[in-house]
Amino acid sequence: MYNKFETLCVHGDVHRQPDANRAISYPIYQTASFSHIKLGHNQSGFDYSRESNPTRSYLEETLASLEGAADALAFSSGMAAISVCFEAFKPGDHIICTDDLYGGAVRLFKLISEKNGYEIEYVDTGDEERIKEKIRPETRAIYVETPSNPMLHVTDIRRTAEIAHENNALLIVDNTFLSPYFQNPLALGADIVVHSGSKFLAGHNDTICGFLCTADEERAKNYRLLAKTTGAALAPFDSWLVLRGIKTLALRQRKQEENAGRLVCWLKEREEVEEVFYLGLPEHKGYELNKKQARGFGSMISFKVKNEEIALRLLKNVRLITFAESLGGVESLLTYPKVQTHPDVPENVRQKLGIDEKLLRLSVGIEDAEDLINDLRQAFEK
């Protein structure tokens, strides 16, 4: 009955039994282990916190309800979530990935997945013909970021899910950039959603976490076994931090999007700026498609300045906006993808995608938009 997004963010599942002491803020079960009443019987289904913990379970249930998932697992990082997702494949499996992908995922696929005998191929997943050309009998999954990091390319989730399913493969979507507030890939046909929860979900640049959400309970059981075995579960205190962050997810995302719109208009007028990439710009290649599958544009902006000197000047001179990796939190962060987030992407691929010395990525926070504009102005003009 009380199932609207904002309500779920604040209360999780309202039909859940209250905490034994009726605490409003869900308690942090800071324990490694749980006592057994007798052999084979534990009181509430909890044994050992690597496997499950009440604070983490509460968070997982909350995220499952926000993503419309059968189950969601919380990990100690987004990379840990993606790693477990990929542990389920077998040697010889072929996986097609978006070419514009977070650099850490590219590094994982290169260092670990290839060693495990998977074949990973990169393609512009915004073009369904390119995907179809790459499909083979051994293709087990299509892995996409939409919008992608950092170029904000958009992939058609519905159509890509159809192509995957016609070929007996899964569609995995990294939903970090829009979060469930703006986009629910499972409702559009995707099988699995991964998140860097360190970003919009936690929202305060104060913890690292990841999620693996699935529409299928059997698959979820296998992921739980793999997660318990590999052991990168989210700790109770961090689970609580993320739960607290999620309570204001909707408020933050609305304010961040509003700020991003103002900054985009301002950046477009600056003579130092060559091009602005933002999902809310009608001239953005993915504008119409994103409008069909998402409920907003988010607050990630990438932009190219006219030369490297201007890019370095901005990074050096911003004061309110912080020159730092990461995104999605209440503080605005400015990142230099070529060096910070995408150094493991081969140079020729970076050049092809446009991840060069002129590209900056701005994650817009919840500060006053005028203050953010003034900060960028003084950084450009210093």
Ligand X SMILES: Cc1ncc(COP(=O)(O)O)c(C=O)c1O
* Interacting residues with ligand X (CB under 6 A): 77-79, 102, 104, 145, 149, 174, 176, 196, 198, 208, 210
Residue 210 beta carbon to ligand X: minimum distance, rounded to whole angstroms: 5
User: With respect to ligand X, which residue has the nearer C-beta, 85 or 273?
Assistant: 85
Rg (CA), the chain: 21
Q: Active-site residues: which are they?
A: 50, 102, 174, 199
Residue 198 beta carbon to ligand X: minimum distance, rounded to whole angstroms: 4
User: With respect to ligand X, which residue has the nearer C-beta, 46 or 336?
Assistant: 336
| Cα–Cα distance list, 251 to 10, 69, 70, 201, 240 (Å) | 11, 22, 26, 12, 19
User: With respect to ligand X, which residue has the nearer C-beta, 99 or 380?
Assistant: 99
| Cα–Cα distance list, 274 to 250, 269, 306 (Å) | 32, 10, 5
Q: How far apart are CA 109 and CA 92, in angstroms?
A: 14
Q: How far apart are CA 289 and CA 299, in angstroms?
A: 17
User: With respect to ligand X, which residue has the nearer C-beta, 239 or 379?
Assistant: 239
Cβ-proximal residue to ligand X, closest one:
78
Q: How far apart are CA 292 and CA 23, in angstroms?
A: 41
Cβ atoms of 160 and 187 within 8 Å: the answer is no
Phi/psi of residue 61, each to 5°?
A: -65, -40
**Closest alpha carbon to 382 in 289, 312, 277:** 312
Q: How far apart are CA 207 and CA 238, in angstroms?
A: 7
Dihedral, 96, 97, 103, 104 alpha carbons, nearest 10? -60
User: With respect to ligand X, which residue has the nearer C-beta, 176 or 290?
Assistant: 176
Q: Where are the beta strands (DSSP E) in 100-227?
A: 119-123, 139-145, 170-174, 192-196, 210-214
Residue 328 beta carbon to ligand X: minimum distance, rounded to whole angstroms: 8
